[in-house]
Amino acid sequence: MSQRIRSAVAGLSFCLIAFCAPGYAQDYPTRAIRLVVPFGPGGVSDIVARAYAQGLERTIGQSVVVENRAGASGNIGTELVAQSAPDGYTLLLAFDGTIAINPHVYAKPGFDPVKDFAPITKIGNSTQILVAKPALPVASLSDLIARSQSAGTLNYGSSGAASPGHVSGEMLRIGSGLALVHIPYKGGAAAVNDVIAGQIDLAFTAVATAKPLIEAGKLKGLAVTTGRRSVMLPGVQTFLEAGLKDFVVDTWLGIMVPVRTPKAITDKLSAASIKVLADETLRKRLTELGVEPVGATAAEFGEQVRQDVERWARVVRDAQIKLAP
């Protein structure tokens, strides 16, 4: 089939969906929905996706199948959803690193974060923390900055190049005067393990991951990236308290669909998702994973996406972060 014919068929399909949207949405969903997670199984994003999927199944009355499509820092799975039929049967677990950062560091990420997706809801924020090896002679980020002249060059690990941890580290380097060198890892766990072993000095990771290790004395918690202290580690200061103005990084997870999905369907999905995220059992589970439940409206989530895309564009430009295509 030629490209011209494929385009015509796709256009006709969309017209039919749009024309029939009211009745189509009234019956929706009539079959299983797939939720694409652009990362491998077992991580926090995957666990969150499966917890949300179970709640959506109960609320919307159809099976929700989680499908892991990992690769290229989330680009592969995200592009898959961007190119899927806009019929409400393919959802994306959207991650701020993929949606708001990747388009600025990849020459061809395969999607436009604003033009290719319609927001459904923001599931929640995942608090990140800067941790240090036990031998580092500081108790907080304030201490580290105060000793920046004598600290020398420090290396820090993150879950990968252009990850929120990497970009946060560059924000810290630019804003504090610390001499920092980034060490990218294939996953956050590997970076944390090397901090524990003393192979690297610092790392960014999730509070839920760091909490038991800090309490066991295997790591030092220096600062959290959110605007207020974490309820999980209330003794750890924020970057704002350490004197870094405007340093607030909310790592979020949300749900998106292809942009031309009929509004009647996105409205139905958004309402169902907000109901799912109001469930106390689910909210408790998310909190245990270090994710602060939100359940934002589609409009609220869409506005945050637009703001974050613009914000990270400035940060990536200032830090001169670039990856191969």
Do 111 and 33 fall into the same domain? yes
Number of domains in the chain: 2
Question: What CATH number is attached to the domain comprising 95?
Answer: 3.40.190.150
- Region 163-188: mean pLDDT is 89
- Region 179-208: mean pLDDT is 92
The pLDDT value recorded for residue 280 is 97
Pairing of strands 128-132, 179-184: unpaired
The pLDDT value recorded for residue 180 is 96
- Region 109-129: mean pLDDT is 95
240 lies in some domain: no
Give the closest residue to 25 by CA, choosing from 92, 87, 90. 87
Which comes out higher in pLDDT, residue 166 or 84? 84
* Residue 246: HSE in the Cβ half-sphere, 13 Å Cα cutoff: 5
Do 20 and 98 fall into the same domain? yes
**19: pLDDT strictly greater than 60:** no
- Is the pTM of the predicted complex or chain greater than 0.75? yes
The pLDDT value recorded for residue 8 is 45
Alpha carbons 193 and 152: distance in angstroms, whole number = 22
pLDDT confidence tier of residue 315, bands split at 50, 70 and 90: confident
Do 170 and 204 fall into the same domain? yes
**236: pLDDT strictly greater than 50:** yes
In order of 187, 197, 216, 256, the CA distances from 213 in angstroms are 17, 12, 5, 34
Domain containing residue 273: 3-126+251-319
Percent of the chain with pLDDT over 90: 65
The pLDDT value recorded for residue 24 is 54
57 lies in some domain: yes
**314: pLDDT strictly greater than 80:** yes
**15: pLDDT strictly greater than 60:** no
Measure the CA angle with vertex 42, ends 40 and 46; round to 5°: 70
Contact between residue 241 and residue 196 where contact means Cβ atoms under 8 Å apart: no
260 lies in some domain: yes
Do 74 and 170 fall into the same domain? no
Question: What CATH number is attached to the domain comprising 190?
Answer: 3.40.190.10
- Region 278-299: mean pLDDT is 93
Mean pLDDT of the chain: 89
- Region 284-312: mean pLDDT is 93
pLDDT confidence tier of residue 52, bands split at 50, 70 and 90: very high
The pLDDT value recorded for residue 25 is 64
